[in-house]
Amino acid sequence: MTLPLPPASLLFSPVSVGPLTLHNRVWLPAMVTWLGTDAGDITDHVLSRYVRYARGGAGMIVVEAMGIRDVASGPLLRIGHDRYIPGLRRLADAVHGAGEAKVIPQIIDFLKIGRRDPARALARLEARYPGCSKWPEEVLSERLTTREYRDYAYGYRQDIEDLSIEEVRALPGHFASAARRARLAGFDGVELHFAHAYTMASFLSATNHRPDEYGGSAANRVRLAVEVVKAVRAEVGTDFCVGCRILGSDDVYGGSTLEDSRHHATALAKAGVDFISVSRGGRFEDAKRPTVGEAAYPYTGHSGLMCMPTRDFPDGPNLFLPSAIRRALRATGLSTPVVGAGKINTYAVAEGALQSGSLDLVGMARGLLADPDWPKKVLAGQEEEIRRCKYTNVCESLDRAHLPVRCQLWMKRPDGGMHPPG
């Protein structure tokens, strides 16, 4: 395919996303920075990170996942109480003041997870299985239930099947309140996090075996997500952008396939989302067993690798997912814009994906972390100047350790810190 020069490209042409017009189609997907305070507040470091992206010229900046409940969650950003609004407003204002980018937070609910503590798990099981503390691993795996063995071997993890119906029915309200705060803080919209290892993705997943109207069939599994979209929309109105991020495929045994995702995407588009961002994998089901004292981490198995494909993969290995979902939407007469991501880092791949109709917006996470000026440089015909991500996932290992996320390619400062180019 012969591609136009960047100034005449689709990539650098404006696009409507619900009530918004983006000045280009370069989309920064959410990337946790671990730069907030332990109370989940915005810091100056958070502000500088996002201002830097805005200066680089991206069309949309999705701010990292922030928790919708008012519960301690380490330096993960939070939007679960009105006291967060002033800090969030500083962030929205700073990004708006730094460039043409629109900015929306990704809002997330997650379930409880504990650190692996086999001695404690076995002490609890003694009442039911006297002497189990002395059983060898193979005997434990045979005699304990699947769930008991998992809690022993990987650490306790709450499942969606553990939630009472009252807890499930409270979720749309939590999302709606968070979206209301995002609006009050001056953001341009919200992205509902329905992907990866978290609560909403687990409802959508084919691994959801709840026996009530929220589990089992595909129609039941998407029910809660649709209720969330409707509750959020009722709270913020139609002039505020509301989109969601889903998985094109769970990439775990027994999890959702592309077929499920096409179904869910169509239901969510009909419910009125302004965009659907398609990610892949990142589930707990195939996570590696953590060392004692650590919690399981959902990006350590095959599904995690497919979420953040490394240098061993060709460019754009996940593009077939947004492509198929977009086709399904268009076949139903739905024009909802679709975002794709996963190792898209050259103008040729990005523009090629747009021209071939695989997606409407090009998600670029690690590529923009490595060089926030990617859009400016490509538009100016200076692609060879780009500091290209090497996809070694140093950023991801920092994320895993809950350490401030940065790129290994950034310049070293005299004080030993790191800063992005420019």
Ligand X SMILES: Cc1cc2nc3c(=O)[nH]c(=O)nc-3n(C[C@H](O)[C@H](O)[C@H](O)COP(=O)(O)O)c2cc1C
Of 150 and 406, the one with the shorter C-beta distance to ligand X is 406
For ligand X, what does the binding mask look like between residues 385 and 404, x meaning CB under 6 A? ----------xx--x-----
Among 52, 116, 264, 343, binds ligand X (CB under 6 A): 343
Nearest approach in angstroms of CB 292 to ligand X is 25
Nearest approach in angstroms of CB 51 to ligand X is 18
Which of positions 114-153 make contact with ligand X (CB under 6 A)? Answer: none
* Cβ atoms within 10 Å of 21's Cβ, excluding its own: 11
Among 106, 207, 303, 323, binds ligand X (CB under 6 A): 106
Those residues whose C-beta lies under 8 Å from the C-beta of residue 408, and which sit 6 or more positions away, are 390, 392, 394, 395
Of 360 and 399, the one with the shorter C-beta distance to ligand X is 399
- Do residues 319 and 340 lie in contact, with contact meaning Cβ atoms separated by under 8 Å? yes
Bridge-based pairing of strands 276-279 and 241-247 is parallel
Among 9, 279, 303, 358, binds ligand X (CB under 6 A): 279
For ligand X, what does the binding mask look like between residues 203 and 232, x meaning CB under 6 A? ------------------------------
* Cβ atoms within 10 Å of 422's Cβ, excluding its own: 13
Angle, helices 165-184/218-236, rounded to nearest 10 degrees: 40
Nearest approach in angstroms of CB 123 to ligand X is 35
Beta strands in 43-188 (DSSP E): 60-67, 77-78, 102-108
Q: Which residues of 66-100 are buried (b: 16+ CB within 10 A; e: fewer)?
A: bbbbbeebebbbbbbeeebbebbbbbbebbbebbe
Nearest approach in angstroms of CB 193 to ligand X is 6
Cα angle 335-277-374, degrees, rounded to a multiple of 5: 110
Of 132 and 338, the one with the shorter C-beta distance to ligand X is 338
Nearest approach in angstroms of CB 112 to ligand X is 18
| Contact flag: residue 245 with ligand X (CB under 6 A) | yes
Angle, helices 146-154/118-125, rounded to nearest 10 degrees: 150
Of 94 and 307, the one with the shorter C-beta distance to ligand X is 307
| Contact flag: residue 91 with ligand X (CB under 6 A) | no
3-state DSSP assignment of residue 277: strand
Of 151 and 251, the one with the shorter C-beta distance to ligand X is 251
| Contact flag: residue 176 with ligand X (CB under 6 A) | no
Radius of gyration of the chain (CA): 21
Among 364, 379, 386, 407, binds ligand X (CB under 6 A): 364
Nearest approach in angstroms of CB 140 to ligand X is 34
Q: How many residues bind ligand X (CB under 6 A)?
A: 26
Nearest approach in angstroms of CB 138 to ligand X is 37
Q: Which of 362, 272, 268 has its CA nearest to residue 323?
A: 362
Nearest approach in angstroms of CB 144 to ligand X is 33
Interatomic CA distance for residues 316 and 88, integer angstroms = 33
Among 61, 341, 354, 379, binds ligand X (CB under 6 A): 341
Among 80, 342, 352, 375, binds ligand X (CB under 6 A): 342
User: Dihedral of the CA atoms 68, 71, 75, 78 (nearest 10)?
Assistant: 20
For ligand X, what does the binding mask look like between residues 35 and 74, x meaning CB under 6 A? -----------------------------xx---------
Of 24 and 140, the one with the shorter C-beta distance to ligand X is 24
- Cα four-point dihedral sign 284, 243, 224, 270: negative
Interatomic CA distance for residues 134 and 147, integer angstroms = 19
For ligand X, what does the binding mask look like between residues 187 and 206, x meaning CB under 6 A? ------x-xx----------
3-state DSSP assignment of residue 276: strand
Interatomic CA distance for residues 186 and 117, integer angstroms = 43
List residues binding ligand X (CB under 6 A): 29-32, 64-65, 106, 193, 195-196, 245, 279, 307-308, 341-343, 363-367, 395-396, 399, 405
